[in-house]
Structure 1
């Protein structure tokens, strides 16, 4: 997940596509130089050739910090530098008019393939952030929710891992909208979900389930650990305030319902269980969480 608004992420994707085009042109020129035995570009023989190509100029200079720190972006660095080192070796051999050994060319070609795979991965992840996420909150949209949960459910059925899910609801959100207006309500919604995602693990997922309700998947987590994690987030969320009306802080609390993905029932039933646990949390006065006890078919504190 990239912590950038839609306009900035669109700009990054456009720049990436231009950088990919520049990389393709660089590669075509390199092959032409070697095959046609033409003079090489002196930038390609420099120790920092990976910084001098137009792709490298974009990669090292023009990328927002929010993208620069992302794992998919970082993975490109090593492959790009290594590919340029191998390209320099090919050009050095070609300059002597000697034949390039097949294993040297294969090493370059393999490094090129690995680099392009990393670039494609970054591009896909940016596109996923743009097109598969709720634009207001940054949470995943509902379209892929069941698909993701069913994939986790298959792992549960095969006893590969456990998985806890939780549904979060912002308490008295209608009152916030009615009292301060929908623009402020949107800020509260966005800030609370951002806080939630910032305090989950990288592989946990947050989906916008509907309105002010969000579904969270917690892979490799049992009910006790999931409840501990959710309670920590619930107690800290809103301290300090996430949104203000003028200089006045807007109070915010949230309620949660939790349930385990059960190998004996389908995903939809697990969601219903979490929803019933959430209803129990609301009935208990809100600003709390409740767990679904599958043995006794009842919510528990």
Structure 2
């Protein structure tokens, strides 16, 4: 996840609040251990023996007022928080009735706690580097500076006539990966795909994560015909790259590409829009293919 550098102050405030949330939940876990495993020795019983930390609700309210509220990472964190405390309260209620948790129940709460803290750390790292222009998951450049980079190439093209192309890459049926295997698997696919693309382009070229599973590739000193050859090689490399999941399963993924070449008088947005139109054609042409932008035929 990423956000523009102009939101750096807001990001700093969110990270500071997140540190409080993590500290509160570490203290909560200690209280929960005592109440769940030694309810009588602890002198308290029931879910109130380990009250839910109050700082999280305040933090979420602050996040929802900011520019990053739409990020799915925050929704996932709220879900994990709700699951954690629902499971924790249920365990304490049973312990209060003399039913101490078995290993499976106890471990389930700890696993959910670990997931919650890991998600907090992911958000913390992402916001900490948001202003750096680097996507923390894939290591690609993010949207920060993208327009400036393309504008520089357009200016160079206007001066020298040196061609260049913009291409958009979109992983095919990526939503089904998240839905079927979970978001961790989706992250692994994104990391593997980004690594494949990075290895396949030259040092002078650039790759940007646009958001989600879409990646923009800036191919410098390249004609449209040359870019199509490069992109088809990248497409084949990606299709041949196995992605190993945490449970040992191996996925094969493909991607569609749309390319457009710079022409005189065309601005940044219009050039990227042409690449997007070509990507649309690749998706609707069967996926796992490369398409070049072409003007619509006259009626």
Q: Give me the whole-angstrom Cα distance separating, in 2, the residues matched to 1:267 and 1:166.
A: 13
Query: Runs (4+) of structure 1 moved beyond 6 Å?
Result: none
Deviations 1:111-161 (A, max 9, x none): xxxxxxxxxxxxxxxxx9992210000110101000000000001112341
Residue in structure 2 matched with residue 52 of structure 1 by the alignment: none
- 1:260: how far off? 0.7
Q: Give me the whole-angstrom Cα distance separating, in 1, the residues matched to 2:260 and 2:268.
A: 11
| Structure 2 residue ranges without an equivalent (≥5) | 1-128
Count of residue correspondences? 170
Deviations 1:265-293 (A, max 9, x none): 11100100000000000001110010012
Note if contact 1:255-1:288 (Cα within 8 Å) is conserved in structure 2: yes
Root-mean-square deviation over aligned CA pairs: 2.0
Note if contact 1:208-1:215 (Cα within 8 Å) is conserved in structure 2: yes
Note if contact 1:164-1:219 (Cα within 8 Å) is conserved in structure 2: yes
Q: From the CA coordinates, give the structure whose radius of gyration is larger.
A: 1
| Structure 1 residue ranges without an equivalent (≥5) | 1-127
Q: Give me the whole-angstrom Cα distance separating, in 2, the residues matched to 1:217 and 1:137.
A: 17
Q: Is 1:270 aligned to 2:283, yes or no?
A: no
Q: Secondary structure at the match of 1:250?
A: strand
Residue in structure 2 matched with residue 242 of structure 1 by the alignment: 243
Give the 3 Å change call, closer, same or farther, for CA 189–251 of structure 1 in structure 2: same
Alignment of 1:211-290 (within 5 A): 211-244=212-245, 246-290=247-291
Q: Secondary structure at the match of 1:190?
A: helix
Q: Give me the whole-angstrom Cα distance separating, in 2, the residues matched to 1:297 and 1:262.
A: 16
Q: Is 1:174 aligned to 2:142, yes or no?
A: no
Note if contact 1:192-1:238 (Cα within 8 Å) is conserved in structure 2: no
Q: Give me the whole-angstrom Cα distance separating, in 2, the residues matched to 1:164 and 1:140.
A: 17
Q: Is 1:140 aligned to 2:110, yes or no?
A: no
Q: Give me the whole-angstrom Cα distance separating, in 2, the residues matched to 1:243 and 1:263.
A: 45
Note if contact 1:164-1:261 (Cα within 8 Å) is conserved in structure 2: yes
Q: Secondary structure at the match of 2:228?
A: helix
Note if contact 2:240-2:252 (Cα within 8 Å) is conserved in structure 1: no
Q: Give me the whole-angstrom Cα distance separating, in 2, the residues matched to 1:231 and 1:245.
A: 29
Q: Give me the whole-angstrom Cα distance separating, in 2, the residues matched to 1:129 and 1:199.
A: 26
Q: Is 1:156 aligned to 2:157, yes or no?
A: yes
Alignment of 1:83-162 (within 5 A): 131-162=132-163
- 1:240: how far off? 3.6
Residue in structure 1 matched with residue 192 of structure 2 by the alignment: 191
Note if contact 2:239-2:255 (Cα within 8 Å) is conserved in structure 1: no
